[in-house]
Structure 1
Amino acid sequence: MAGYIGTSYFVFQQPAYPRDCEEVSNACSSTHNTSGVYLIKPDGYPESFEAYCDNDLDTGGWTILQRRRSDSVNFDRSWKDFRNGFGFLGSEFWIGNEKIAFLTNQKRYQLRMDFENVAGDTYYVTYDDFRISDEWGDYYISSLGAFVISDAIPEWCSANEIFSDETCERTCDDPDTCISVLSLRTETEQCVCVGEYLRQQEQCITLNQCNCFVADKGDVLMDGDFYVNSRCTRNSTCRNNQIIEASYQCSDHATCDERNGVRKCYCNENYEGDGVTCTREVVLRDCYDLYVSGTRSDGVYTIYPDGWPRGIQVYCEMESNGGGWTVSYANN
C-alpha cells in the first residue's frame, strides 16, 4: 500500500486596515512621528473608522479617545451620542464608547490622561491595563491596572474657579460689592470665582449657599442685619455669619409695613415702641399732666393741647395751691 505525505500551506494575510494607531505607526516608516487622522479597524468592529493618532508623544502610536480644550464642542450629550461618538477629530471630540470597547478588548492597552491649565502647566496620569465592557455591560470600566502620576503637579483652581487676571470678585459677606482680589493676592493671574459664584473663605459657592442667605428675601444679610417676612410673622437675623430664625408678631397697636426699605412692625399713631410692644404716648396737654408726670417746680414748659401739634409755651405753677396750674405765657 503506497502512502504519501501531504503538504499544507498557510497564508498569513495582512489586515486591510491597522487595528490601532500603534499599528499605523509601525505600518510605514513615512508615517512615524507624524500625528494626524488615520483609518483603523479594531478586531470584530464592522467597519473602519477615522481616529486621531498622536505620534509626537513618547514613542508615538497613541490612539486618542477624547480631546477637550476650548469648550467649542458641547459634551453634555445623550447616551446615544456617547455610544457613537461626536465632535471633530481636528479639534474636540469623543471617539465613542462602542469603538473604545472593541479597541480595548483586542489586546492590552495603557490609558494616559493629559491635563493642562490656562497658565500652561501640565501633568498626566496613566493606568497600565485599560479595558471597558461592551454595550451589554453598559461600557463599564472592567480594568484599569496600576496608577502612575507625573512628578510635576501644577496648582489647579478649585471648583467654580478659573485662572484669570480678573481684578475683583464678590463675596458672601458683601454680595453687591466687587472686592479687589489684589488686596489679598499680588499675582497678575490667580484663581477667581466665576460667573454668579461668590467667595466664602477658600470656596466659590452660589448665593443660596452663603451662610446668611434668606430664601424669602433671595439675598444675603450682613452681620447684625435682620429681615422680616412679608406677613411679619418671622424674623431672620444674621449673627456671626449664621441665620437665627425667630417667630415675630406685631402688637395690637402696630402695623406690618415697609418704610425706607425696612419691613417690620411699626407702632400706630400716639403709640411708641418697637412694634412688637407698643405703649400709648403720654401727651402733655396742660400743666396738670406735667404735674401728674412728676414735675414739681414752677417754670416755663411746653404743652400740647388738642390742635397744637407743635406745642405752646406756658408758665406752670407747681408749688402752690396744689400745683398743676396753667398760666398763659408770652414770649417777647
Structure 2
Amino acid sequence: MTAMIDLRSDTVTQPTAAMRADMARAEVGDDVFAEDPSVNRLQELAAELSGQPSALFLPTGTQSNLVGLLAHCERGDEYICGQQAHTYKYEGGGAAVLGSIQPQPLEFEADGSLDLRRVAAAIKADDFHFARTRLLALENTHAGKVLPLEYLGRARAFCDQHQLGFHLDGARVCNAAVKLGVELSAITAPFDTVSICLSKGLGAPVGSVLCGNRELIDKARRWRKVVGGGMRQAGILAAAGIHALQHHVERLAQDHDNALQLANGLAEIDELRVDVEAVQTNMLYVDMDPALFPPLRQAMAEQGIRLDSRLPMRMVTHLDISREGVERVVAAFKQYFADRR
C-alpha cells in the first residue's frame, strides 16, 4: 500500500518509535501538585533552551497563548497583534471571550513583522474612553517567514519605551532558530513570554510550553487551572516533549530543504504560481486558477497525497515527509497537468 503524504500541516506528524519508547518509560506524578518529575524536567529544559527563568507545560498551543495573554492583561486591557496572527484569527477569540481582552489587529508587513510605527500609532491614550494597551504579541515564524534578530531587538526596546508586555507566539520558533543558525534563546530571550509548540515540526503528539519570568508563569499556572488545562500524570506526554526538544530540533533543516525542493519542482509547472524566493522554512504557498483546484485535490487524494483546501494552497513539510516523498508529489503534479493539456 502506498504511504500517505499529508502536506496540510506539520500538526499531522506521528510520534517516532524512539519517542513512543520514552513515553512508555516516563516517570509520572500529579502535575497539578507540581509532582510529575517528567513534566518538571520538560519545563526546566524548555526554560533553559529559551533563556527564560521559568516554563509551564500546557496541552495545546491555543491554551498556551491564551494563558500567556491572560497573565499579561486584565479585563478591559488590549493587546496588539497581526491581522492574520494565530492569537487573533485562529484561536476562537479566546482572549476576548474568556479574558475580556480586546485585540487590536494590524496588517503584517511582507516579512511577517509589524511596523513599529503603526504599533505606536495604535497604542491608546491614557483615557477612560479607551481600552488600556498592555501588550505587543508577535508571531515567529509567520507563514513560514522568520523575523530578523535585529527587528526583535528593536521591538524589545519599543516595548520597554512604551511600557508594554512582549509575547511571542513561537509555535514554530525552533524552525526560525534553525533557519538563522542561532540558539533558540537568541530569539526567545527578549520576550516576556514565549509559547513553544511541541506538536508541530518537533513531532510530539500534543503539548506546548509557555516560557517566561516567574511572576508571569505563576499567573499563567493559575489561569491554566481556570481554563481546564491542569493535568495529572502528564509525564507520559511530557516525555514526548523532552524527546522532541533533544532530538528533533536540528533535523528541522531537512524539512526546510524539502520545502525548497518541493517549491522548485512545482514552480516548473506552468499552471501553478509559486514564489520560490519566499520559502524560508517548512512552508510554501501555491496559487492557481480556482477552477483547477478541486479536481487537482481529488486526483492527488486518490494517489495518497493530502492537500490544503484553500487557495493560495499552503504546503507544509515535516518529519513524516522524506525527500523521496517530495519527489513523488512533484512527479504526481507534473503528470496530472501533462494529462490535462
Q: TM-score, normalised by structure 1?
A: 0.22
Select the structure that is richer in helix: 2
Q: Which has the higher contact order (CA 8 A, sep 6+)?
A: 2
Structure 1 or 2, whichever has the larger Rg, is: 1
Q: Which is richer in strand? A: 1
